[in-house]
Structure 1
Amino acid sequence: MDTNPESESEPDLLKPQSTETSLNDLAHDLTSLLELAQRGSWRSILDKVTRARSLSLLSKPHDHLTYLSFYVFSLTKLRRFADAASELDSLQDLDSHRYLYESYPQFYPNRTGSLIPFSLRWLHALIPSKLGNRLEGLDRLYSLLDFVRQRIKSKNNVSFNVWRKREVFLVNCIIGQHLAAKEFVVCLDLFNELINRDDSLDPVLLSKLGYLQMQIGDFDGAKSSFSRIESMLKEGRIDSVSFSESELNNLVNRNRALVFLVGKDYVSAVREYDECIERDHEDVVAINNKAICLMYLRDLSDSIKVLENSLERVPTVALNETLVVNLCSMYELAYINHSDIKSTLSNWISLVAPDDFDATCTRI
Structure 2
Amino acid sequence: MEIPESPPPNSSYAAAASDLVEDPLTNPYSSLNSHCHELSTLQDLACRGSWRTILDKVARARSLSLLNKPHEHLIYLTFNLLALIKLRRFSDAQQELQTLDDDLDSRQYLFESYPQQYPNHQPGSMVPFALRWLQAHLPLTLGNRQLSLDRFYSLLHFIRDKKLKPVSQPIDESDNMSVSDRNVSQEIWKKREGLVINTIISYHLSQKEFQVCLDLLRAEIGVKEDPMMVSKLGCVQMQYGDLEGAKMSFDAVEKMVVGRESSDVELKNLVSRNKAMIYLVGKDYVSAVREYEECIERDGSDVVAINNKALCLMYLRDLSDSIKVLESALERIPTMALNETLVVNLCSMYELAYVNHADTKKTLSNWIARVAPDDFDTSLVKLLAAEKPSSIECTFSNEEVVPSNLTERRFSREATTPWQNVYLQQLEEGS
TM-score, normalising length from structure 1? 0.90
Give the whole-Å Cα distance in 2 for the aligned partners of 1:129 and 1:17: 32
Which residue pairs with 2:234 in the alignment? 210
Which residue pairs with 1:173 in the alignment? 199
Comparing 254-263 with 201-210, which one deviates more in the overlay? 201-210
**1:69–1:130 CA distance, 2 compared to 1 (3 A):** same
Which residue pairs with 2:164 in the alignment? 152
Deviating above 4 A after TM superposition, structure 1's stretches of 4 or more consecutive aligned residues are 15-20
Give the whole-Å Cα distance in 1 for the aligned partners of 2:158 and 2:132: 10
RCO greater where, 1 or 2, for CA within 8 Å and sep 6 or more? 2
Given that 2:25 and 2:184 are in contact with CA atoms closer than 8 Å, whether structure 1 keeps it comes out as: no
Given that 2:149 and 2:203 are in contact with CA atoms closer than 8 Å, whether structure 1 keeps it comes out as: yes
Shift of 1:17: 4.3
Q: Does 1:114 align with 2:140?
A: no
Taking the TM superposition and a 5 Å limit, the aligned residue runs for 1:23-38 are 23-38=32-47
Shift of 1:108: 2.1
Q: Paired residue for 1:317, among 336, 348, 353?
A: 336
State the number of aligned residues.
343
**AA in 1 matched with 2:205:** L
Which residue pairs with 2:317 in the alignment? 298
Give the whole-Å Cα distance in 2 for the aligned partners of 1:80 and 1:223: 42
Structure 2 unmatched runs, 5+: 1-22, 172-181, 387-431
Structure 1 unmatched runs, 5+: 1-14
Given that 1:254 and 1:272 are in contact with CA atoms closer than 8 Å, whether structure 2 keeps it comes out as: yes
Give the whole-Å Cα distance in 2 for the aligned partners of 1:217 and 1:182: 12
**AA in 2 matched with 1:230:** E
Shift of 1:235: 2.1
**1:100–1:352 CA distance, 2 compared to 1 (3 A):** same
What are the Cα deviations for residues 136-161 of structure 1, in whole angstroms up to 9, with x where unaligned? 11111111111111121378433222
Larger Rg over CA atoms: 2
What are the Cα deviations for residues 194-222 of structure 1, in whole angstroms up to 9, with x where unaligned? 11113xx3322222211111011111211
SS of corresponding position for 1:153: coil
Which residue pairs with 1:141 in the alignment? 152
SS of corresponding position for 2:49: coil
What are the Cα deviations for residues 300-331 of structure 1, in whole angstroms up to 9, with x where unaligned? 11111111111111111110000001001111
Give the whole-Å Cα distance in 2 for the aligned partners of 1:221 and 1:21: 49
Give the whole-Å Cα distance in 2 for the aligned partners of 1:229 and 1:207: 6
Which residue pairs with 1:104 in the alignment? 114
Q: Paired residue for 2:105, among 89, 95, 98?
A: 95
Taking the TM superposition and a 5 Å limit, the aligned residue runs for 1:223-234 are 223-234=247-258
Taking the TM superposition and a 5 Å limit, the aligned residue runs for 1:1-364 are 16-18=24-26, 21-92=30-101, 93-110=103-120, 111-150=122-161, 151-153=163-165, 156-198=182-224, 201-236=225-260, 245-362=264-381, 363=383, 364=386
**AA in 1 matched with 2:165:** K
Given that 1:226 and 1:252 are in contact with CA atoms closer than 8 Å, whether structure 2 keeps it comes out as: yes
Which residue pairs with 1:5 in the alignment? none
What are the Cα deviations for residues 308-358 of structure 1, in whole angstroms up to 9, with x where unaligned? 111111111110000001001111111222111111101000001111111
Give the whole-Å Cα distance in 1 for the aligned partners of 2:89 and 2:378: 16
Shift of 1:38: 1.3
Give the whole-Å Cα distance in 2 for the aligned partners of 1:96 and 1:51: 28
